[in-house]
Amino acid sequence: MAGRALNDLQVKSVTHEFYMARALHLARQAYYTTRPNPRVGCVLVKDGQVIGEGAHQRAGEPHAEVHALRAAAGRAQGATAYVTLEPCSHFGRTPPCADALIQAGIAHLVVAMQDPNPLVAGQGLARIAAAGIQVTSGILEDEARELNQGFVHRMQTGQPWVIAKQAMSLDGRTAMASGESQWITGPEARSDVQRLRAESCAVITGVSSLLADQSRLTVREGPWLAQTGFMQPTRIILDSSLRTPTDAALFQDAAPVMLVACAQAAQRHPERVEALVGAGAEVVLQPRRCDERIDLHALLNQLGQRQMNQVMIEAGAALSGAFLQAGLIQQLYLYMAPQFLGDAARGLLSLPGVVQLQQAAQVRVQDVRAVGRDWRFTLLCEHQNR
């Protein structure tokens, strides 16, 4: 009935969501700097007033709970703590946050979601509950999961969350037959791609794209990035036969370079490996499927072991299509420019073997929006063949 007053349970729910939304906002302030750690925010509330708040900023630095407790300056006794992720219960680079909250004497812990890290996985909540502190979980959980989708995915699968970026014309073309593609999209769309690079731990491309585009694959700073303190992603080149030249543009800056090749090629051309290492690359060799294609599943497993939460594919039709057909892309950002390139231009993705509609790669539209003169489609990939 319109105008009916909220009951106590509804008031508590609204209150919890209000302060959790604030904690999520704090966590987003360090969106580009926390990797490989998750993005976490914390708000301490006592007698209806915020007495302390904070966010985790960088790996190795204090967690959000510690920042909030320090801001509270000894006033946390009897307070409610709102945290976007379950407080850690183990010693890593920093002491357990669960213990810090217990020692501070909070009366109530409200969390958005349980930590998927096997080292925590409910143990932090259990420890706090065992100390006699009330625990409420699941407040704005969907928002908290989206904030850390890469971290959650890596903890659950052992592999990073994979996004791919493609730019195309209205008729589905990515470049002219000559390879000319700069620029299909406008400056606003290109700036948006910089954001995707900045939030990714690595950018993956193939040697053919590298040779054609001479891209550095770094994040080029813009007004929106100036204050973020972002870290440059690792540039990963898939080059099974060691064709990457040592004078490639990406060797001209300090951002890390990983070159993935086949062991047999390295055995035949050890001088190329030595030259690439001298140019600044870390050369990683795959023992199987040599002289063919890089094992993409093995690559992602290795990147997961390196604690990469999210990686971005910026590659041509063949490599991007291979990732998609292998069921290894979770999210696709498709930028569509208002122009037609014609039948002779290059297509968007190479998907060999797809001859029937039932074989088509399935995606779900998550978001569509204008970015300058262009349109950006955010697509979630489904029916992955993991």
Catalytic residue positions? 65
**Rounded-to-5 percentages of helix, strand, coil across the chain:** 30, 25, 45
Residue 74 backbone zone (phi > 0: left; psi -120 to 50: alpha; other: beta):
left
Beta bridge pairs of residue 204: 236, 313
Maximum Cα–Cα distance for the chain, whole Å? 79
Cβ-in-10-Å burial (0-12, 13-18, 19+) of 182 comes to: exposed
Give SS3 for 37: coil
Amino acid occupying residue 366: Q
Give the 3-state secondary structure of 72-103. Answer: HCCCCCCCEEEECCCCCCCCCCCCCHHHHHHH
Decide: 100 and 74 in contact? Cβ < 8 Å: no
DSSP E strand boundaries for 10-131? 41-46, 49-55, 80-83, 108-111
Structure tokens at 187: 């400056």
Decide: 65 and 84 in contact? Cβ < 8 Å: no
